[in-house]
Structure 1
């Protein structure tokens, strides 16, 4: 390499805006939207831009929840100019929006590298200089409780759950003053909590419990070799390094073996590891799903400029490797391939392609057999999932004549586990393939009292409830981490048939607003008697991490207040 070439390379590395020269960045076409309303949701803002105003935004960034300003990116100058024209002085929730063209943000990886280089030059200590091995960094980011006894982990998680419930009680009391006296009585009865909290549930299996993992293919900083594992940090924090998973206790041995064997394939391949900074290279990801002596692998690569013949050759090679070659010790039973162009944009992720072996794997929960496809949602801890669903049934207390409305039903796992406890199960899910899987799972288990429907909960809940055979309807809600759409909650509230809601949350703090919305007072926008918390239980699905599931049972306020009044009359 010539001196000139070396100089150019250094300049490129040190320039945090060099990425704008490449064609994959939307930072070139960014605007700042100012004077946003005091209260709004990101999904609500996204729908305004893309569904109502048809502005084709690419991504939206804010500094915090309900920020008065946001940055919106577009794929080209034409879309940006159109957005500026439409949004300038547009009134949203009574606020006149103000629009400015925004400068692109610097590449965080390059920016961080420059800062570290400058700190090193000035002998200034940085956090990256702290004595911490790669293995410790990896454990701290993936299993932060790796050095905490399990009994202590449960205590810490229970304390976190209590903090969420206390905050919920205070906020609900503030939002609905009619409930204030009742909440104070609840707090007196339940040690400051707005409802009874049962003992935490947990599985005896605390290690090797994950049945699904998405491993990144990258470069190990210690060995400088292509490695299949987990990121030890993040791009935003200035690192793309990947560390090996050998000593992570939550990953099963079968997956670790498969990872090592696939890693051997990557290292011997002519294809390169994907470089997220420059968007070069091919190997990006390995997704693994395991269940009862079955192992599904999905090999994800960026095709770059590979021809169809070259891709076909790669697929043939990977099939031979795992079916009859050196990869047979991995004991793969199902092999898929996937093109991953831009991980952040769902439109750029091509559906998986079955290459070899079985098309599905099968798992058993509460005596029921479930068919699992590569894209299907399934709880990552099978034994924990059984405890979770039993807890939901316990809190719901369905009668033989009840209809269970499974909202965000996925492939039907929760609803089908309720099926022999009630007269009818009706599932709702926005993803069509999940509904196909749910119906197949019902047939697989000879369950005839269930039906599943495609659509957004906020749009079809009312129509589906008309199909309920009885007047006692229990809604079971298990939404994504961000929680349920506000419209869906208000739709549940306005349907008088729904007497009870069992809410399953994998991120209780993020779902806090949902909890409060169930209990808001009636208004022009919110119809139906409030639903208040009566019982809750924590379920530890993720040992050695800080995450914990929370299940809360909500009941109609008029029934709870009526029961309370009757109880007080009996006492007097």
Structure 2
């Protein structure tokens, strides 16, 4: 039996879904973050579980020929990226394997024969994140912004992120200076109410920026906003979100525009659209072009098709089809996103779209009761995957084709267990939306089985 703090040599046989190295020590499974397939390492056990142990890397006795020096100075401390020590082409291969591992774990029908297409990567996999969501804390009277270290509430200050868009990084650096300068209260988990989080998003096509200050109390931000917007004319919107809860939820219910316009403009494929501050949009604009093009190819619509865009956000995926089909209908639980979708559709001149705020599992049955019938469905759920009720709804009405866009291979594989009872999985196309992390996005083409 292995014990905590025990030091052991280990040969890394493969890599896991979180980017960690995996080996066996006397038939015991050992997970070692930072180790790569093929390496011989020396590590120390940090936790003993029922069927495996966790260990930290102490020394690499035989490095992988694919190991590289991480380009980020705080890579190991931050934990936001997990694969920066692996050469990029091998990162892409690993993401193919992440999908295979998830399928093998959940075993949807016929998974051994699914076509897993090679992950589509980036030519320049750096500074790709057009959105940041940094926590703020005060240390020794100085405000710092960054991310929590993995598995903790210890803030790691980030002033120069290798994967973050440079303008958004420059703005958050200025934000921390101004929060200090104007003595704006900063949140403390024990007793102090104030700024908890700052969200900054840039429209890649327009260079327009929006910013949300999330706070646990009302704030006076007039001087802060005046100096910030004077320094960065790219900022078009400053909003405020009040979140008094003690939970880990980032946002409270209401978001108020304090300064500027209600939305910023962004473009993808051959169309433009507006984004309000709370509306969801992919954080890697360059790869979003690739992702949406893959979704468009996978659904393979015709001019008489009626399409449902579940989890539609501001309508972006659905707009890729609106000019080619009879109708597109979408829903989302965020009312501001639905208002954006309606405005965007009107601005683009579509008269065949309809959007409604609410849950897909509630709205789709209502539409069917009213006589609407969908030929195809696009689902792009959050990391938690499809709601069980929505899965049951889809399997009840059985539209003839579906595209599942997933940002979590585990919940995708889980959902395919049910979907594969009714649908054939034609292929899975992975798109690297998150270089240097152990996450990938996948587009799955599904066709209803012949009776």
Give the TM-score normalised by structure 1.
0.62
Match of 1:477 among 375, 379, 391: 379
Match of 1:457 among 348, 360, 363: 360
Deviations 1:31-57 (A, max 9, x none): xxxxxxxxxxxxxxxxxxxxxxxxxxx
Task: Output the CA distance in 1 between the equivalents of 2:138 and 2:150.
Answer: 13
After superposing the two structures, state which structure 1 stretch, 333-342 or 376-385, moved more.
Answer: 333-342
* 1:71-110 alignment, distance < 5 Å: none
1:407/1:323 CA distance change after superposition, 3 Å: closer
- Is 1:299 matched up with 2:205? no
**Residues 503, 552 of structure 1: 8 Å contact kept:** yes
* 1:165-176 alignment, distance < 5 Å: 165-168=103-106, 171-173=107-109
Q: SS state of the match for residue 142, structure 1?
A: coil
- Is 1:494 matched up with 2:393? no
Q: SS state of the match for residue 447, structure 1?
A: coil
Deviations 1:252-291 (A, max 9, x none): 1101111111111122233443222x13152321110111
Task: Name 1:154's counterpart in structure 2.
Answer: 92
**Residues 377, 410 of structure 1: 8 Å contact kept:** yes
Task: Name 2:148's counterpart in structure 1.
Answer: 231
Moved over 4 A (4+): 126-130, 345-348, 465-469
Task: Name 2:424's counterpart in structure 1.
Answer: 532
Q: SS state of the match for residue 451, structure 1?
A: strand
Task: Name 2:435's counterpart in structure 1.
Answer: 543
Task: Name 2:17's counterpart in structure 1.
Answer: none
Which structure would you say has the larger RCO, counting Cα contacts within 8 Å and 6 or more residues apart? 2
Deviations 1:370-428 (A, max 9, x none): 11111101111112112111111211111222111111212111111111232221112
User: How far apart are residue 474 of structure 1 and its match?
Assistant: 0.8
- Is 1:366 matched up with 2:366? no
User: How far apart are residue 506 of structure 1 and its match?
Assistant: 0.4
**Residues 134, 243 of structure 1: 8 Å contact kept:** no
Task: Output the CA distance in 1 between the equivalents of 2:209 and 2:288.
Answer: 19
Give the TM-score normalised by structure 2.
0.77
Q: SS state of the match for residue 175, structure 2?
A: helix
Match of 1:505 among 386, 403, 406: 406
More helix by share: 1
* 1:365-514 alignment, distance < 5 Å: 365-465=268-368, 473-496=375-398, 498-514=399-415
Q: SS state of the match for residue 323, structure 2?
A: helix
Task: Output the CA distance in 2 between the equivalents of 1:201 and 1:465.
Answer: 37
Task: Name 1:94's counterpart in structure 2.
Answer: none
Task: Output the CA distance in 2 between the equivalents of 1:151 and 1:203.
Answer: 10
User: How far apart are residue 472 of structure 1 and its match?
Assistant: 6.8
1:159/1:348 CA distance change after superposition, 3 Å: closer
**Residues 232, 243 of structure 1: 8 Å contact kept:** no
Q: Which runs of 5+ in 2 are unaligned?
A: 1-54, 60-71
1:279/1:517 CA distance change after superposition, 3 Å: farther
Match of 2:168 among 255, 271, 274: 255
Task: Output the CA distance in 1 between the equivalents of 2:333 and 2:251.
Answer: 20
User: How far apart are residue 144 of structure 1 and its match?
Assistant: 1.6
Task: Output the CA distance in 2 between the equivalents of 1:335 and 1:348.
Answer: 15
User: How far apart are residue 485 of structure 1 and its match?
Assistant: 1.4
Task: Output the CA distance in 2 between the equivalents of 1:261 and 1:503.
Answer: 39
Task: Name 1:105's counterpart in structure 2.
Answer: none
Match of 1:289 among 201, 205, 211: 201
Task: Name 2:118's counterpart in structure 1.
Answer: 199
Task: Output the CA distance in 2 between the equivalents of 1:455 and 1:350.
Answer: 15
Q: Which runs of 5+ in 1 are unaligned?
A: 1-125, 174-182, 188-192, 521-529, 560-572
**Residues 210, 381 of structure 1: 8 Å contact kept:** yes
